[in-house]
Structure 1
């Protein structure tokens, strides 16, 4: 039997998420998480999906990422799915930032590793952790293809007018300042899944994808290619998020430094961790915000209204960018589950062909579905994202060429 399995690794600064998939039918064989790496209270959670077994959990010190991946290998081995299996075709790694260098999935070698390291200043919180996971996995299986799939890659098709900031060109080029975009694997997956839902090929469909989770981003996808996206040099730009501000006047930073006496690090923390919904009302969970609104909490209502106002602005802008819009797709935790957000986001946009059917929008489900009226000019869809499957599919397609 030829090798058809792909292990997907998402290495964070103190965690490793993983899934093992069989690409013959895209089925999941196992999934799990190692969190609080480096602490005495590290936790390992493993679910053997292929056998339908119960989730196993253990708590105890996991010293570093090498120990974490060895623990993952042991858990998989207990289910007969070990890293030494000849059925394992590749390990796919999520890498947050690929800059302008990496526009597609890439087999990792020393040169690729060096370039990912060179890009650390553009993603100082993420690329180092991604690198640690890659190096550890290569040490465990040096004979196995390791594939990097980059969050930024899908957005590298943006034309220069969308990707460039109106900064001095020499300064921008020297410091690699441009709009890169993120959540690319999600936007790629959802835009194609939306085309399938409409019964069309991706190249025949224009889609606005709204990835709404704790982090949130929008993209304009024309014929399967991203032509604009809301996140920029970093994931801070764009929509109102759980803890990130999204768009602000850049002079706010100068004002906080000069008048507020705040340091650059303090402002960074404010905009990334203490703003967005949590800064507006003290909660970043949309379910809790909606509960508070139902209880007549004005602070929560204002936070929700600000969130929706920004979302509408991007929907309108991307309708203008695309010219013709066939569908708007909501995805990720909020997009898939918060019917109130979907309803509010398109309310008043009937002249753009947008509306939701109240009954359809209220239905919850795990499958892609339309929530717009049957005669709607622009379809409104709910499309569950699957970034792990997207990474596995890209990695497998590359190594099987």
Structure 2
């Protein structure tokens, strides 16, 4: 072989390698870019020993604030084993800010009713003290307290209407029913046999609040009703739990707006979640019988993902999944409020996650998997 051709033999492996460089470069551009470094704010929001990988938890919480697809997150509190594992707020909000409950109030109302049942002042499987239902021949007299709690009263309550102003909820809260919400809710006729049909309804929760006021005050005076319910909540629930920020709101007739309007800080909502996680126990005191919390978190006969004024992380046939049932865990339950208010409670993981903010229906589809990411960081059994 001529001398001039010899170097080509030595270069051929190099040429072969160079031939692959475009393909290798192409692979590099297709690879998913690493996430940006966590900010100091993201890391400082997480405790030193949060019970989960600290950086991963900081990332999961950060995603709730920086991802514009899920709406606006204003507050997040994660509690693990009774301690704050993470806490963060959007600018303009802090640990002293009171947030509206929206429908998270329903779960508070259920606890109040449970305390009255435990006191022997109400019975779960009897018709409650609603005077108009006790008139002879009124078919609504067949409705039991249990059925009201499980949203299967059979009353004609339409939570969301089209147009919106025709819905029972909007009429009750803002239009012709606003001054006496219980009267509006209780006056609706039956559209199904009591107990036979699940229908989520804020009006039903107002009926429960009215029942509590009738038992506690035995008066039609608005101030007496308001005072009796507020004092009972404070002495039996908010005070013992140290939920010092809580402000229950009432209509003009003195009825607690028990399906929609209780104000409280993110920390106090987290305390309420921890109370539920511990089945009504707080620092060695059983504030409500354990079996009542078990009742609240047991599927209703008419809806697999609803207990008693409480949502369950289970798949219900022909119903929208309000949580993330396909990802589990099955023992997780929640208080859920309009526009993305959540208290997620997972007893198995010793976990409570509070997220407060504003997200519409499409944004909540992005939000829920992000909340599931937080839960997944904590090992279950």
Higher radius of gyration, 1 or 2: 2
Between Structure 1 and Structure 2, which shows a larger proportion of strand residues?
Answer: 1
TM over 0.5: no
Normalising by structure 2, we get a TM-score of: 0.29
Relative to the length of structure 1, the TM-score reads 0.27
